Structure 1
């Protein structure tokens, strides 16, 4: 068998997430179909994590094992010829048999992009809100609320370190098992993650959130962003974040931010 590590970029707008689903377009299913067309083999590529419907990736990682003795250069060319243009294979590397895209990962970085439509505080007299270009709209949260950027920064500071993120994962217990973790854990630690980096910055009129962690629970980044926006919109205080973490209750946190603003940026391996 030949073992490969694939790094992919994709526009998740028209896909129902990474994980294969019956009768629905997914990244995993589309990649599997392309591999079958090229090699005749039926296999399920293993991803570093299960991005949700509408979420994008700049560097998703997948691992595959093929019996077909095809050179990396030929496989790379063939995949990008067969796959839709919304999915591109950036690199293909030969790896050892024990490499697994998810289990071998050590850290992941996500970025969330907000288009702040309204100024903070709103101008007096009122002015028209900024208009989000339709070329940009599929890749940002076109947020209508005036956002205090300093409050976003303060709220993001509180989640650095090792915490129980139960308050920031999906409500459905079955969905929480759709885990972005990078290693196996005991049930008692199943909601505990370590966040190494959590910060906001401004670029080209956007508010960008970067977060790097040992792993991420289902909807965790989007729930963090939704809660930070609640603080920036002055519905809660940024200082409420420690209490929300301590509550270990999804209802204590803010709403889930839209999927279209989220990008998987990097997956790091030992």
Structure 2
């Protein structure tokens, strides 16, 4: 793991885990799994628009991801049936992005790397962008941590405390769009939601408070990145899916540990 490209891959994955861990906790608490999925799927459309209009790739992805997230948030506020709406928007955005890429003249794009990620191809410039994005997300969540927790627990309680739940949803929307933009090259559009949800869900099995769960999600996400890279190197498997496989294994392990602890406590 000391080669330059492997070190860049590890650093990039750890930075994404640092931002995705606490954000994923809110995704789990608010039951926003489909919300993250729809935002991630829209990233492929962002790739197509960025290539078509010669924009910075990260900027194109973030703009489209942000537009999708804000659209979903607005529809949720109007009482739309979210499961159906998110299913329609997520798959429509992904399909439109794939079709749009095929219409770009003279552009040859390896869509597999955008769908499943290519963490081993992360450059030093990519590392800078990922560091900025992860830092922005962490700063945003640290600034709004208590209001976000209150609005997640109860919107009525948030109103009583003078907190606007719509504003807190917007904070999560922006943070989610940033994480999707910087994560696309690492785990791909189809696996971003898994990196948001699985480490957080695994941490919830053992954590006793929100802060502990957020720190646990960061640790498990970082361990997933390290273990996934090791698996990819040892077995010559795709790096992005390997990271998610390790995360799934950690979720299974923490679930079994929780069951064992519950059985012991009832004796």
- Greater per-residue helix proportion: 2
Q: Which has the higher contact order (CA 8 A, sep 6+)?
A: 2
Larger Rg: 1
- Greater per-residue strand proportion: 1
Structure 1 length-normalised TM: 0.24
